[in-house]
Structure 1
Amino acid sequence: MTQDRKLLEPITTVVSFALRLLTGVVVAGFVFTVTRGGWSDAVVCVTDSTSSSSGAADAFAPEKGAEVGSVPRYCATDPSTYQRLLDHIGGLLSLALLAAGLFLLNRLLQGAAKEGVYTLRTASRLRALGWLLLIGSLMAATVQAGAEAALLATLAQDAKFSVGPWFQLWEPPYLALFTAVGLVTFARIIRVGTRMQEDLEGVV
C-alpha cells in the first residue's frame, strides 16, 4: 500500500487541500453575504446572446472588410428576489458540483492510498465520480441555460421564456462529458483487472 500511496502523490495532497480551501471559502462567503447584505446589493444582468446585430456599434471603427456586431446586455435596476435567484442558481449548481466532485475524488484517493489502487472499491468510487461528473455537468448546464432564458424574459420585452432561447443559451460541457466517460471506462478496466488478479491469486 505504501507504493500505491506514493504513486497517488501529489494529487492526493492537492485535492485534500483544495477541498478544505473550498469549504473555507464557501463558509466565509456565506457569512459575508448574511452579515453585509451582499445578496441585496448584487447587480443582476444577463447578456442576450440569442440576438445580435451588425452595424449597431457606430462608435467603433472596424478595418475594411470587417463589421462590428452588438449583443444587448440587460441589467435590473431593482431586481426582485426571483431575478436574484435566477442570476445565482447557475453559479450555485456549479459550486455544488465542484464540491461534490472534490469530495468524491478525495474519498477515492484516500481509499486507494489505504486499500490499494487495484480494488473493486476503488473501481466503484471511480465509477461514481464519473457518473457524478456526467449527470451533474449536464444538469448544471441545462439549469444554467434555463435560468438565463427565464431571467432574460423578465428583463427584455421581446424575449419570451421558451424552449428556443433555452436551447440557444445552452452550452454543452464537452470537456466534462468526455472526462466523465473516460472515468467510467477506466473504472470498468480496473474492475476487470482486479477480478483477473483475484482469480490468478486463487489459482496460485
Structure 2
Amino acid sequence: MTFVLAMLSGLAFLGKGLIRMADDGDICVRTGFWVNATLEDGLPVGKGVEAASSAARLCQEGPSVGQRAADLGSELPWLLFGFVALLLFSQLMNAVVRDGPFTETAARRLSVLGWAVTVGTPVAGLVVGWSQSWLVASMAPIVGSGPEWAGPQVLILAGLAAVIMGRIMREGVRMREDLEGTI
C-alpha cells in the first residue's frame, strides 16, 4: 500500500509540474511582509502585478518562465519529499515483512528513512521559502521579504528519532547475534 502511495505521489509531482508549466494563467503569491503597510501611493509593484494588501497577496498577469518556475517551487519540493519518504518507508515495510523487524536490513532502512526526513525537510522548506521570496521580489522589487523557511519543521525531530531508533535496532541485532553465537 505504501508503494502505491509513493507512486501516486510521484505521479502527482510529475503531473503538477507539467500542468503548471503549460498553464498560461496568472500566478499569485502570499507574503506577510507588507500585510499591515499603508502607503499613500500604493505598493511599488512591477508591471502587470495586482496587489491586495488586505490579503497580503500579489498576482502577476503574464508571468515570465522564471516566475512560473518559482511558483512551482512553492509546491513541488513537498511532493518530491513525500514521494521519496513514502518510497523509503515502503522499502522498510517490505524488509520488515520479509525478514522481520529486528534485522540489520530493517535497522539500516530505518536509518536511511530517518536521514532522508531529517535532511529533506529543511531542504524542501528552504526551496519553498526561497522560491516564494524570489517570486515576491520579482513582483514587488522594493518590498521583498527575504528568504524564508516554510513547512513543518517538526519532521526534523521525527527523522532524528528514526535515525536513533535505527541505531538502537542495529545494536540490538548485534547483541542477538552475539547471544546466538554463545548459545
Q: Which residue of 1 aligns with 2:33?
A: 50
Q: 1:152 aligns with which of 136, 142, 145?
A: 136
Aligned length: 170
**Whole-angstrom CA distance in 2 between matches of 1:183 and 1:42:** 42
Question: What secondary structure sits across from 1:185 in the alignment?
Answer: helix
Aligned mates of 2:31, 2:152 — CA distance in 1: 20
After TM superposition, the structure 1 stretch with the greater mean CA deviation from structure 2, 184-193 or 14-23, is 14-23
2:180 — aligned with what? 201
TM-superposed deviation, 1:104: 0.7
Cα distance, 1:21–1:177 mapped onto 2, change above 3 Å: same
Q: Which residue number in structure 2 is paired with residue 10 of structure 1?
A: none
Which of 73, 80, 96 is residue 112 of structure 1 equivalent to?
A: 96
Q: Conserved in 2, the CA contact under 8 Å of 1:51 and 1:71? A: no
Deviation at 1:25?
A: 4.2
Q: For residues 83 and 102 of structure 1, do their structure 2 counterparts lie closer, same or farther at Cα, with a shift above 3 Å needed?
A: same
Q: Cα distance, 1:50 vs. partner?
A: 1.9
State the shift of 1:133 in Å: 0.6
Checking the alignment, whether the CA contact within 8 Å between 1:54 and 1:70 is kept in structure 2 is no
TM-score (norm 1): 0.74
Q: Deviations over 1:133-179 (max 9, x none)?
A: 1111100101111111111111114224xxx621xx32363321111
Specify the alignment match of 2:3 in structure 1.
16
**How do 1:27-176 and structure 2 match up within 5 A?**
29=15, 33=19, 39-53=22-36, 70-160=54-144, 165-166=146-147, 169-171=148-150, 173-176=152-155
**In 2: Cα distance, 1:79 partner to 1:120 partner:** 51
1:105-141 Cα shifts (integer Å, max 9, x gaps): 1111101111111111111110000110111110010
Which amino acid counterpart does residue 83 of structure 1 have in structure 2?
A: Q
Structure 1 runs (4+) deviating above 6 angstroms are none
Q: Residue type of the partner of 1:84?
A: R
Return the index of the structure with the highest Cα Rg.
1
Distance in 2 of aligned mates of 1:172 and 1:30: 19
Structure 1 unaligned regions, length at least 5: 1-13, 57-68
Larger helix proportion, structure 1 or 2?
1
Gapped regions of structure 2 (runs ≥ 5): 40-52
- Distance, in Å, in 2 between the alignment partners of 1:31 and 1:171 is 19
CA distance in 2, matches of 1:193, 1:119: 9
